[in-house]
Chains A and B, each alone.
Chain A
Amino acid sequence: MVERTLTVTAPLGLHARAAARLVRLVSGFHSRVELSRVDSGLSADAKSILSVLMLAASRGTELRASADGADEEAAISAIDQLFSDGFNGPEYS
């Protein structure tokens, strides 16, 4: 299992569109991916958009992402890339 701490950079937080990009991206990997809020511990299955939206992660929120599975390294670095692009990089859908 690999873990990384990320900060939400999308200007409006993980709203539906940003969450959709994240979920689409993560769904392409076999690994189980979990996101949890560093402050409250609230966690979400990153392949479920409703679950991700329930994190209510506004801009600046710190999240811990963990991936577990055969392609965990690739999954975590793709997520990292998405976050560091501020969710505005090349299209992920």
Chain B
Amino acid sequence: MTEQQEIRFKGLGVSEGVVIGQVLRMHDTTEHVYHWRIEPSDLEAECRRFRAAVDLAKQQVIGIKQQAEVRLGKEHAYIFDAHLLMLEDEKLTSDIEKEITDKKANAEWAVKVVGDRLLSLYSEIKDEYLRERGSDIEDVMQRLIMALGGGDEERPPLSEDAVIVSQDLLPSAVAELDLEHARALATDTGGWTSHTAILARGIGIPAVVGLRDFYRRAKTGDRIIVDSSRNEVILHPSITTIQDYRSRRVVGSRGPEANHPGQDTPVTTLDGVEVTLRANVELPSEFEGVAKYGARGVGLFRSEFLLSRRGVVGSEEQQRTAYEGIAKIAGDDGVIIRLFDLGGENVREVSHELEKNPALGLRAIRFGLLNEDIMRTQVRAILQAAKKGRLKIVLPMITDSSDVKRARAIIEEEASALAKIGGELERVSVGAMIEVPSAVLMADSIAEVVDFFELGTNDLVQYTLAVDRGSDEVSDWFRTLHPAVLRSIDTSLKAARQAGIPAIVCGEMASTPAYAVLLLGLGVTELSMTPSAIPRVRATVTEIDTRDARLIAEQCLLCTTADEVENLVRERFAQLWCALFPAAALPAIRPTN
């Protein structure tokens, strides 16, 4: 084999670590299907080929189902049972065989024709949830077409050093991906807050996103180095490069827990301010991180993950079991459950009615208020689970106090209905997510009707600066340290203090040590983050004096641009805490703009 030229691709390192591994390509684009004529004498063989593909597809689905049961929980695995039944459905297989025989068509084409026919019947169904089930048919058809091509090359078992390479890792791909064994992720699209990034940080593996044209050029099995600290991946690294990396001691970020075992002792700054570090979780596989990294409970449970990847909401009983489960893990420190934050990127699984502007559309609390059945089921499940564990509710995407009042009315109705049949309930605190500009401007009046604030900084940055967080084209405008963002946080915190309610910050900002210090400077004492980030934030927080942080934060609030804030942070942090913040831990110097 000829030695291939080493190529470097620049992207954005969104989850720290360095890994040397092998490419495993994952694609989620629809296959092209071609039509060719089968000679009458070969028709029987073509039908046999089809039946063999059905068998292969069944085996794959059984495997996925078993994996999903283990990793995502039994309720998420049911959907694959439906897929299996479709493959076993004689109506489907006989229709396809009939298409092959009658039209003398190749099996791929017959699958596509029959699948499209079913889908068009489906698209006429009026009920949105049922119509959406068409995506399961699509999934099964795609699997069949893949199986006809031999199938197995699409999803080889993950080798020890697999680096997942994809154009865009859709949330729906998560269920099928053996993420626990993946060593790193590299994708063409995405930014700091894309799903890939959040997921990678959640499970603690390195990731570089926004590589633009990388996927096309990488092949499964290629050698690759993912270096998040340098924001790059290296394809076909030369022997010298590999040796160079080996001698630097490769640090996969699976390591930090070894250096910083979870501690139960309170986290206190040098000047004695106690800081509470909680965990953000969505995947069951992240639950273990809560205790492992020493989180004080769960500050943000993204409940929409309870929906199956096709958008099926779990029953009240299933949800209740899930909430009790997470409450048990969190113990006395409790769990803040965010009501379903559906819409935007999640809505892909729920509805085919594409909104022109999903981030500003029917999502989060709006979705809940207009789909009361779903919201009431979730509320009942939480209220019941709260008998066994400490749970709070936080309402996503609140724009003003009327959203809160409508939601609270529903919660209270369900609580009193449950109290009538099942006796006394624990009172469950209700908070508001502060993540859109109107909520910031109206924070004082919202603070009067909730028990706490939770600042979602990812959305706050996106909505305040009107920048799509998933778009790499505008990633230069996504500036977490924009003074507009810092002032919004400051305004919200002041409103909370005025009303005497706690405020917790749960966005990506909380998990980045330099940003966390600024948050402390603004007066934050509760942070919630991806569990694997807790050790590094704890290590930072215990080494700073909040009075220093406050001085810097106050100066930042007076800045007029993000560049000014970043310069100030780089300069002052390097002066005060040079040991804590090497250059790589501070905002990068940007090309002149």
Q: Assuming A15-B130, A49-B86, A50-B92, is B317 touching A20 (CB within 8 A)?
A: no
Indicate whether A17 reaches chain B with its CB closer than 8 angstroms.
Answer: yes
* B121 in complex: contacting residue of A14, A23, A54, A57, CB < 8 Å: A54
Nearest-CB residue, chain B, relative to A88: B315
Q: Assuming A12-B312, A24-B81, A88-B315, is B133 touching A53 (CB within 8 A)?
A: yes
User: Which A residues are CB-close (under 8 A) to B310?
Assistant: 16
User: Which B residues are CB-close (under 8 A) to A45?
Assistant: 91
Whether B125 contacts A56 by the Cβ 8 Å rule is yes
Q: Assuming A11-B373, A16-B312, A88-B315, is B129 touching A49 (CB within 8 A)?
A: no
B315-332 residues with Cβ-Cβ distance < 8 A to A are 315-318
A78 to B136 alpha-carbon distance, docked (Å): 26
Q: Tell me the minimal C-beta distance from B315 to chain A in angstroms.
A: 5
Q: Tell me the minimal C-beta distance from B26 to chain A in angstroms.
A: 24
Please classify the interface of chain B as helix (H, G, I), strand (E, B), loop, or mixed, using the class held by over half of its residues.
Answer: helix
Indicate whether B474 reaches chain A with its CB closer than 8 angstroms.
Answer: no
Nearest-CB residue, chain A, relative to B127: A58
Whether B91 contacts A48 by the Cβ 8 Å rule is yes
Q: Tell me the minimal C-beta distance from A73 to chain B in angstroms.
A: 24
Indicate whether B126 reaches chain A with its CB closer than 8 angstroms.
Answer: yes
* B89 in complex: contacting residue of A49, A56, A58, A87, CB < 8 Å: A49
* B130 in complex: contacting residue of A23, A50, A51, A53, CB < 8 Å: A53
Whether A16 contacts B136 by the Cβ 8 Å rule is yes
Please classify the interface of chain A as helix (H, G, I), strand (E, B), loop, or mixed, using the class held by over half of its residues.
Answer: loop
Q: Tell me the minimal C-beta distance from B352 to chain A in angstroms.
A: 14
A93 to B122 alpha-carbon distance, docked (Å): 25
Q: Tell me the minimal C-beta distance from B505 to chain A in angstroms.
A: 35
Nearest-CB residue, chain B, relative to A23: B85
A49-72 residues with Cβ-Cβ distance < 8 A to B are 49-51, 53-54, 56-58
Q: Tell me the minimal C-beta distance from B264 to chain A in angstroms.
A: 38
Q: Mark B105-148, 1 if CB is under 8 A from A, else 0.
A: 00000000000001001100111011111001100000000000
Q: Among A14, A16, A53, A91, find the residue whose CB has the most chain B CB atoms closer than 10 A.
A: A16
Whether B81 contacts A56 by the Cβ 8 Å rule is no
Indicate whether A82 reaches chain B with its CB closer than 8 angstroms.
Answer: no
Nearest-CB residue, chain A, relative to B77: A93
Whether A16 contacts B133 by the Cβ 8 Å rule is yes
Q: Tell me the minimal C-beta distance from A9 to chain B in angstroms.
A: 11
Whether A15 contacts B133 by the Cβ 8 Å rule is yes
A8-36 residues with Cβ-Cβ distance < 8 A to B are 11-17, 19-21, 23-24
Q: Assuming A11-B377, A15-B312, is B118 touching A50 (CB within 8 A)?
A: yes
Count: A-B pairs, CB below 8 Å: 80
User: Which B residues are CB-close (under 8 A) to A13?
Assistant: 127, 129-130
User: Which A residues are CB-close (under 8 A) to B316?
Assistant: 88
Indicate whether B308 reaches chain A with its CB closer than 8 angstroms.
Answer: yes
Q: Mark A72-83, 1 if CB is under 8 A from B, else 0.
A: 000000000000
Indicate whether B313 reaches chain A with its CB closer than 8 angstroms.
Answer: yes
User: Which A residues are CB-close (under 8 A) to B374?
Assistant: 11
Whether B313 contacts A12 by the Cβ 8 Å rule is yes
A87 to B316 alpha-carbon distance, docked (Å): 12
Whether B129 contacts A12 by the Cβ 8 Å rule is yes
Whether B130 contacts A20 by the Cβ 8 Å rule is no
User: Which B residues are CB-close (under 8 A) to A91?
Assistant: 74
Whether A50 contacts B127 by the Cβ 8 Å rule is no
Indicate whether B78 reaches chain A with its CB closer than 8 angstroms.
Answer: yes
User: Which B residues are CB-close (under 8 A) to A48?
Assistant: 89-91
A1 to B126 alpha-carbon distance, docked (Å): 32
Indicate whether B419 reaches chain A with its CB closer than 8 angstroms.
Answer: no
A57 to B129 alpha-carbon distance, docked (Å): 10
User: Which A residues are CB-close (under 8 A) to B89?
Assistant: 48-51
Indicate whether B82 reaches chain A with its CB closer than 8 angstroms.
Answer: yes
* B91 in complex: contacting residue of A14, A51, A87, CB < 8 Å: A51
User: Which A residues are CB-close (under 8 A) to B127?
Assistant: 13, 56, 58
Indicate whether B174 reaches chain A with its CB closer than 8 angstroms.
Answer: no
Q: Assuming A49-B89, A56-B130, A58-B127, is B81 touching A11 (CB within 8 A)?
A: no
Whether A50 contacts B91 by the Cβ 8 Å rule is yes
User: Which A residues are CB-close (under 8 A) to B136?
Assistant: 16
A54 to B136 alpha-carbon distance, docked (Å): 13
Nearest-CB residue, chain A, relative to B133: A16
* B85 in complex: contacting residue of A20, A56, A57, CB < 8 Å: A20
Whether B130 contacts A93 by the Cβ 8 Å rule is no
Indicate whether B428 reaches chain A with its CB closer than 8 angstroms.
Answer: no
User: Which B residues are CB-close (under 8 A) to A93?
Assistant: 78, 81
A45 to B94 alpha-carbon distance, docked (Å): 14
Whether B78 contacts A19 by the Cβ 8 Å rule is no
Whether B315 contacts A20 by the Cβ 8 Å rule is no
Q: Tell me the minimal C-beta distance from A23 to chain B in angstroms.
A: 5
A56 to B89 alpha-carbon distance, docked (Å): 17
User: Which B residues are CB-close (under 8 A) to A11?
Assistant: 313, 315, 373-374, 377
Q: Tell me the minimal C-beta distance from B349 to chain A in angstroms.
A: 12
User: Which B residues are CB-close (under 8 A) to A51?
Assistant: 89, 91
Whether B126 contacts A24 by the Cβ 8 Å rule is no
User: Which A residues are CB-close (under 8 A) to B90?
Assistant: 48
Whether B129 contacts A86 by the Cβ 8 Å rule is no
Indicate whether B79 reaches chain A with its CB closer than 8 angstroms.
Answer: yes
4 shortest interchain CB distances as A-B pairs? A16-B82, A20-B82, A58-B127, A49-B85
Q: Interface on A for B, CB 8 Å cutoff?
A: 11-17, 19-21, 23-24, 45, 48-51, 53-54, 56-58, 86-88, 91, 93
Q: Beyond the given A11-B374, A12-B129, A51-B89, could you list 18 further A-B residue pairs with CB under 8 A, ordered by the A residue number?
A: A11-B313, A11-B377, A15-B129, A16-B79, A16-B82, A16-B133, A19-B82, A20-B79, A20-B81, A24-B85, A48-B91, A49-B89, A50-B137, A51-B91, A86-B315, A87-B315, A88-B318, A93-B78
Enumerate 8 A-B pairs (CB-CB under 8 Å) in ascending A order. Answer: A11-B315, A12-B312, A17-B81, A49-B82, A54-B122, A56-B130, A58-B130, A87-B315
